Amino acid sequence: MGFLKLGEVVLLFDQRSKKYLVRVDPAKEFHTDFGKIRLSELLKKDYGEEIQSHLGRTFKIIKPRISDLISKIERPGTIVLSKDVGQIVAGTGVGPGDFILDAGTGSGALAIYLGYLVQPNGKVITYEIKSEFIEIAKRNIELVGLNHIITVKNKDVTQGFEENEVDLITLDLSSPEKVIEHAKSALKAGGYVVIYSPFIEQVQKVNEALHRYSLQEIKTIECLTREIEVTKRGTRPKTRMVGHTGYLTFARKI
C-alpha cells in the first residue's frame, strides 16, 4: 500500500459515476457541484481509496486508463475515435518497441494511443503544420505523461519525412496521396501505412497512389459501432449509433 505522488494524474468518480481527471497538487483545490476537494489530501491516499469533498460527498480514486485520459484531452476538432484506433492496432499488429510516424497531429489523440502501446522502448514522431494544434497536442501529451515517447514536429510532410526504418506510418491529412512516395521511403520492409479519410474521394486518390508506388496488401474498410440497449422491457440496438467517421486504408511495404 503506497501513497499517490506529487504531479500524478488520477481519476475521481463521484456517486453518480461522473468522472474527473485531476493532478495531485497540494497548492490547488478542485471544485465540483458536489463540493470542493483539497488536492493535498490525495498525497495521503492510494488508488481504490475514497476522498470526500467539503460537503461530505464521496469520490473514489481510480488509476486512469488511456481511454480515460483520451476522453479528457483538449480537442481543437474531431479526433480519430477508439473504434478506428482499434482497427489500426489489429490490422498492423503495432506493439512495444515499434517506431511510428504520424502526420496530421491535431489534438494528438492518435499519437497518444499509439505512444501508449509502443512503451517502454518505442517512439512516436508526429508531424503538424499548424502551430495552434502543436501547442494543444503538447499539452495533451504532457497530461498523459508520454513526453518521453512522443515528439511533435512542425513540418510539412508533403516535403518528406526525416526518418526511416519505420514500423508504421499513420496519415490524417487532406491530401494524403501526396505523401505516399515519402511514406514508402521511410517504411522498413514489412512496415504499414494507414490512411484515415473522411471522404470516399480521398480514398480513391490514395488507392491510386498506393498502387502507383507498388505498395502491397491494400485494403480500405469502414468501422461502424452499434451499442445494444438492455432493459427490463427488452433488448435491442440503440436508436443512435456511432456511424461513419472515416475510411481506413491499409497498405504494406514488401
Extents of the domains making up the chain: 9-62, 68-252
Q: Does pLDDT of 1 surpass 60? A: no
Q: Does pLDDT of 53 surpass 80? A: yes
φ, ψ of residue 173 to 5 degrees: the values are -130, 160
Element (H, E) at 66: helix 66-71
Q: What is the mean pLDDT of the chain?
A: 95
Tell which CATH classification among 3.30.460.80, 3.10.20.600, 3.30.70.260, 3.40.50.150 matches the domain 68-252.
3.40.50.150
For the chain, what percent of residues have pLDDT higher than 90? 93
Local confidence band at 39 (pLDDT 50, 70, 90 cut-offs): very high
At residue 122, the pLDDT reads: 98
Of 109, 151, 145, 105, nearest in space to 129 by CA: 105
CB burial class (10 A; 0-12, 13-18, 19+) of residue 119? middle
Q: Provide the terminal-to-terminal Cα distance of the chain, rounded to the nearest Å.
A: 50
Q: What is the pTM of this model?
A: 0.91
List own/partner pairs for 225-234 with CB under 8 A and 24 or more apart. Answer: 225/83
CATH class of 9-62: alpha beta
Taking the C-alpha atoms of residue 186 and residue 163, their distance in angstroms, rounded to an integer, is 6
Taking the C-alpha atoms of residue 75 and residue 86, their distance in angstroms, rounded to an integer, is 20
What pLDDT digit, counting tens, does each position of 9-26 carry?
999 999 898 999 999 999
Local confidence band at 56 (pLDDT 50, 70, 90 cut-offs): very high
> Bridge-partner residues for 165, per DSSP?
none
* Length of the chain measured in residues: 254
In this prediction, residues 174-185 reach a mean pLDDT of: 97
